Structure 1
Amino acid sequence: MTIAGPAAQFKAYPACPVCRSESTTSNPQRRLGIAPLGQIYFGGQKFGAVCPRNGIPHLTPHCEQWIRERTGQEPGFRDLYSGDSPRSHFSESDIIPTFVSARAQMKQPGLPERWILNSLATDFIKSDFSLVFPLMNPVLFEETVRLAYSQDEAEHPLERITAKACVLAFASLACGHFPTSTGASQVDSDACARDAQILLGDIIEDASITTLQTILMLLLYETLCGRLQASSMYHALACRTVFALGGHTVVEPTPKDRDLTVEEHEDRHLRMLFWLCYVLDKDISLRTGQPPVIADQFCDLTLPEGYERTRFLPRQPGQLQTPWLPGDLRLSLLKSKAVQSLYSNASLRNSDAELLKTIRELDEELETWRTSIPEGFSPNLSVRKDSRLDVVTNLSKNMLLIELHLDYHFLLNTIHCASGRCITAESGGPQQFLFGVQSSFDLSVEASRSTIVYLSVSANRLAGEAFWFFIFYPLSALMNLFFNILQNPGHRLAVHDMELLGKTSQIIRSMPIRRVTSHETEYLMRMDKLVAELSRLSKCAIEKHQAMASMYQSNNNSSMHDLM
């Protein structure tokens, strides 16, 4: 398959279902779907859905009408997603043709010079990044490199193509993460990614560890570039590949008294790649509203050997160390349980009492997890406005601290937000919260406050590669605070929350970005518009409430005066 030109390329990337609903149906509420995962509920009403590509909320006409009633203003969210084509903001050179047959290309993809690749591999292996994302095993990768650069025509052609794809994918990722590595500046990382994708079309049916590594490397590359929909598609492909290889099943313990055989290295590495797929699966599901690919009941979820003992220890040089992986695996297991228990279609059949019981149980499990984390890493229950972070010079420890705090409050918010489905409305707007639900909603709002406050003091400490991994945290918190202000404009913290909303745009812009392109620039501008509109409407709601309260007080005073 070849791509004729820009027009064909744009047609190949249709907008996501949420973005497309505005122009394809007269009933957007119907297009938002039934399953609660990815939907925005408030006060028993479905208010919208989250765009799986960028996390921007798409509100229903019903929600917009409620906003008009609460603020007396016309909401201006339509401009944020009108004409929302996922590739419209990329230049032609940014668009990477996917799954194009290598045989259709006039020239074979070129590999980086071998000494450059060796330098990149050495830097990767020595780095903490390799423990968070265990994309390659040094022993196995050595053979992959040999095959990729081999001139021996007797070598199996498919294995050579697979090895080349893996080397190119690795170079595309490593050059961005290790820009000061010897020779890295001589490598075009975008060209390497394009060439790896070209070759992937020829090896897609070769279910091997090398193919799996290639897919995961391209997944991370696309994420770092902000192409989250493409990243999600690679993730699904990676999960299917790891299933085909049996990585979801149990493996024998790693021998301690001798060096590992090649087969044992493969088994161990495959299991780590499974866990990487698992962590990404639960995060992608929660952040995009799409169902998880990995079903827990079909997998052996025994934690990696030594994981709990070594997760919070510094890197041990010269040892075969258990990879850290992103976040904490035990929290990923809890995320999976929350998605299944609260946000599956089956959960809709539960009564309000059953739903609240599930929320309480998950909250208890989350608290058990929080208290099990070593002191110095354990997230705070709540983060106040005057909070200060400890000075941490180690980037990996710093990233883990931030990730655990944000993950904890994000999941706490996710769990308790489900209580919004318990209230049944008899009129057009959300009803007052019923007994037993208010406390749950208050917890979700406090978690949202903590997210914004914590990011305000930690955003500038993030690694530049983390932007597209972390952007969903403030977006989720923003909408929760906004709806709470409109529902309770007279609350003692309403003005405080409005101020938090107003600062979020600055907080997002303080998050380092690895490489600023037109895509990042447009995204930041869109965030500015979203935050400005949320702040404007919040201020209007508070002012309307204050005016009505003042009028009520004035009428009361007049009535008292007449009586006297």
Structure 2
Amino acid sequence: MPTPPVATSAKKRRACDACNRRKIQCDGEPPDTQCNWCYHHGEKCTWNRVPRPRGRARQGQDRSRSATRSESRPGPDSRPDSTDPPWNADTESPDNPTQRLVSAEPQVADKQYQPLSASPLSLQTPPITNFPDQLLSPSVSEAGPCFGKLHFAGYNLGDINSYHGIPTFSEDGKAFIRSRTGESAVFENVLPDAHEQDPRRLRETLLSSLKAMQHPDQHLALPDRRIVEEHVRFFCSSFFKLEFPIVDCVLFRDTVDAAYEPLRGPDSPEAIRAKACVFSFLSVMSLFEPDRQPTSPPVDGDVFATKTHALLPLALQDLNLTVLQTLLMLAIHRLFSGQVPSASLLHSLACRIMFMLGGHTLADPWLMNNVADRATREKRHLRRLFWLCFMIDKEICLRTGQPPAIDDEQCVLTLPEGYLDVQYVDRSLYTNESLVNDSAIPVMPGDLRLGIIKSKACKLLYSAEGLRKSDAELLRDIRELDEDLEQWRLSIPPQHRPVLSMPRDGARTESIKCPDGIRSIVIHFEYHYLIATVHRATSRCGPESSEMEGIRTSHLLTVEASRSTLLYLRFAIHVLLEEAFWIIVFYPMTAATCLFFSILLDPLNAHAQRDLDLLDLVPELIKHIRMRSLTQSEMYHLQIVDDFLAELIRLGRCAIEYAVTRARQEQWSEQQNRMVS
């Protein structure tokens, strides 16, 4: 072992190769004294690299390298630029990420330094010129992953945050708000540490899953079988089975048997998949407790969802129908719990398994008469799961701005035989259990035809190709989608048909049929949201295009649809159920943001004050939907919603007052000028 390093003179030393690579202080002295770092790491000090020239000699060498590099670049526009900074492996430019990546390559200590080849690919990145500005923003915003862009009347105002759906305004968006209100928005106080705190619930779930994997006997034990059997009986005899056909009653009873009476032991792959499926089923059933029979015992859905997460790594070893419905049910639980990012990931995985099983290309299995045959039953259930995947995919896509997981062109989208005949049948007719048998046509959580229109809107208006379209092409596609929506609306029976615009007058509202359930309410919300989403695409057109007739009309339709959403919420609030809270709250939040910017755009408009009064009602309306006890994470989320709405209302009021004050000042200035003249 060499002797430890001793103190040397204070003159400037040359660092050894190891210390030079690590950019640390070296106290060694060539060729005999070993430095402190190499001594403690048992390495030999070496000084094999070629010293770099300093001062004027270094500058001359750099200029020579720059000229050589410029002469080697191909193309007529490759001219040496004396103003460019010198480049080599020892220096880096903070403005050139490609250069930083190249210069960060490790150097070998026992080889002499050689300049890296200055190829055009390593020196410069070709500029992107074929995409509009909104496509050039980074994929991750300051507040976390971006789930879409927020445009209004030609202004790019910011991003839609992936965790809570609330806008994260850009600097231009904040400047626009400040110019219209005379106030600085305090949305940063509304969303403290949003990137860190919002995924709290998901992190807690994963940590609980890890603990459960360490103690499987204690944490992953199945509940009493009677609890599961009671929920299965309720599901198989209720209308919920047709709205959310998450399991087939016959096949799922086999799954329950495999979980509680495994043929190959409790640790076999079949038993683990069955157990995960049972846990996932109970997590979904917990969301709809108001609909359950009094004899059905309540269950904690979050606990069972956590247990499902813990078993997923083992359950995914084999991909079959059981695993598909497990993932899909877990995604539904996350979606209805307000955890959209987690739901999106789980749903994408479920879609991949559904593709592998061939559910997207199945012919209509309801034409098959032999329901007793297990293969036929599995095909029928797989097709039901495909439509569930399809509907959830379009909902997540439209809400988040992310590309869909399901490409319509790769799927058979033929509606089930007899689907339109049962789509809007009175729910009370299904109280007879004989009508909810295995051959019953599924109703699904929404209208499948509307899901197809959603998919078309995403592709035509909000895909990468849609964002490159000209104003004329955009207006053409908007007209086409508008016609599709109107044809769909007119096909709905009058008692369920969404109105074009909700009246403000209470007397006129009484003429509208009261919704008979959450299904009718969601369809109304979806219709108005789709109208607003389709016509809001014109907001990407620049402010100079705002006077075009088509764009101005689309802007007015966007605002009116948002206004109708809030008016309908006030009209139907008494029918809303607590399990739909995280699905419903998205619609008033989006509508409130649109109305807010409408007020800012024209605060002296006759509608501005009435729209502000409508905004003022939204927090109270949202509170009326909250009936069950909430988790800590949900309470945190709701506090964000309340604070965000309060800030919108405050700024909207400031915008009207600011505009009135400026109008009076301008009027007074004009009077003074006339008096002087």
TM bracket (short chain): 0.7 to 0.9
Do structure 1's residue 276 and structure 2's residue 388 form an aligned pair?
A: yes
Q: One-letter code of the match for 1:126?
A: S
Q: How far is the alpha carbon of 1:358 from its aligned partner?
A: 0.7
Task: Write the distance in 2 (CA, Å) between the matches of 1:359 and 1:304.
Answer: 28
Partner of 1:408: 527
Partner of 1:482: 596
Partner of 1:23: none
Do structure 1's residue 95 and structure 2's residue 205 form an aligned pair?
A: yes
Task: Write the distance in 2 (CA, Å) between the matches of 1:359 and 1:91.
Answer: 39
Percent identity between matched residues is: 37
Partner of 2:607: 493
* Pairs within 5 Å for 1:197-346: 197-255=309-367, 258-313=370-425, 314=427, 315=430, 317-319=433-435, 320-346=439-465
Partner of 2:154: 44
Whether the 8 Å contact between 1:306 and 1:322 is mirrored in structure 2 is: yes
Task: Write the distance in 2 (CA, Å) between the matches of 1:121 and 1:310.
Answer: 24
In structure 2, the CA distance between the partners of 1:29 and 1:80, relative to structure 1 (3 Å rule), is farther
Partner of 2:125: none
Partner of 2:233: 122
Q: How far is the alpha carbon of 1:374 from its aligned partner?
A: 0.9
1:82 match: secondary structure: coil
Deviates more, 1:499-508 or 1:350-359: 499-508
Residue by residue, what CA displacement relative to the aligned partner does 1:251-278 show, whole Å, maximum 9, x if unpaired? 2543575543111111011001010011
Q: One-letter code of the match for 1:66?
A: F
Task: Write the distance in 1 (CA, Å) between the matches of 2:263 and 2:463.
Answer: 52
Partner of 1:443: 557
Deviates more, 1:192-201 or 1:491-500: 192-201
* Pairs within 5 Å for 1:78-89: 78-85=188-195, 87=197
Residue by residue, what CA displacement relative to the aligned partner does 1:36-67 show, whole Å, maximum 9, x if unpaired? 97211123231111112211100001111111
Do structure 1's residue 537 and structure 2's residue 663 form an aligned pair?
A: no
In structure 2, the CA distance between the partners of 1:143 and 1:348, relative to structure 1 (3 Å rule), is same
Q: How far is the alpha carbon of 1:436 from its aligned partner?
A: 2.3
Task: Write the distance in 2 (CA, Å) between the matches of 1:186 and 1:534.
Answer: 38
Task: Write the distance in 2 (CA, Å) between the matches of 1:301 and 1:164.
Answer: 33
Structure 1: unaligned runs, 5 residues or longer? 1-26, 426-430
Partner of 2:489: 370
Task: Write the distance in 1 (CA, Å) between the matches of 2:600 and 2:299.
Answer: 51
- What's the TM-score once normalised by structure 2's chain length? 0.73
Partner of 1:57: 167
In structure 2, the CA distance between the partners of 1:546 and 1:368, relative to structure 1 (3 Å rule), is same
In structure 2, the CA distance between the partners of 1:30 and 1:257, relative to structure 1 (3 Å rule), is closer
1:325 match: secondary structure: coil
Partner of 1:30: 137
* Pairs within 5 Å for 1:154-165: 157-165=268-276
2:498 match: secondary structure: coil
Q: One-letter code of the match for 2:575?
A: R
Number of matched pairs: 528
Residue by residue, what CA displacement relative to the aligned partner does 1:202-247 show, whole Å, maximum 9, x if unpaired? 0113211111111112112223333222111111111111111111
Q: How far is the alpha carbon of 1:99 from its aligned partner?
A: 7.2
Q: How far is the alpha carbon of 1:527 from its aligned partner?
A: 1.6
In structure 2, the CA distance between the partners of 1:101 and 1:209, relative to structure 1 (3 Å rule), is farther
Whether the 8 Å contact between 1:172 and 1:189 is mirrored in structure 2 is: yes
Task: Write the distance in 1 (CA, Å) between the matches of 2:633 and 2:265.
Answer: 45
Whether the 8 Å contact between 1:410 and 1:448 is mirrored in structure 2 is: yes
Q: One-letter code of the match for 1:201?
A: P
Whether the 8 Å contact between 2:419 and 2:443 is mirrored in structure 1 is: yes
Q: One-letter code of the match for 1:540?
A: C
Task: Write the distance in 2 (CA, Å) between the matches of 1:165 and 1:375.
Answer: 43
Deviates more, 1:474-483 or 1:513-522: 513-522
2:549 match: secondary structure: coil
Q: How far is the alpha carbon of 1:551 from its aligned partner?
A: 2.5
* Pairs within 5 Å for 1:144-163: 144-153=255-264, 157-163=268-274
Residue by residue, what CA displacement relative to the aligned partner does 1:136-165 show, whole Å, maximum 9, x if unpaired? 111111211111111433799222221111
Q: One-letter code of the match for 1:81?
A: L
Partner of 1:10: none
Residue by residue, what CA displacement relative to the aligned partner does 1:395-454 show, whole Å, maximum 9, x if unpaired? xx41121111100000000000001112256xxxxx754332101100000000001111
Q: How far is the alpha carbon of 1:301 from its aligned partner?
A: 0.7
Whether the 8 Å contact between 1:67 and 1:75 is mirrored in structure 2 is: yes
Task: Write the distance in 2 (CA, Å) between the matches of 1:159 and 1:339.
Answer: 39
In structure 2, the CA distance between the partners of 1:322 and 1:338, relative to structure 1 (3 Å rule), is same
Task: Write the distance in 2 (CA, Å) between the matches of 1:102 and 1:246.
Answer: 34
Whether the 8 Å contact between 1:89 and 1:518 is mirrored in structure 2 is: no
1:48 match: secondary structure: strand
Residue by residue, what CA displacement relative to the aligned partner does 1:166-200 show, whole Å, maximum 9, x if unpaired? 11211232244237657754754433222222222
Task: Write the distance in 1 (CA, Å) between the matches of 2:293 and 2:171.
Answer: 52
Q: One-letter code of the match for 1:250?
A: L
In structure 2, the CA distance between the partners of 1:241 and 1:99, relative to structure 1 (3 Å rule), is farther
2:217 match: secondary structure: coil
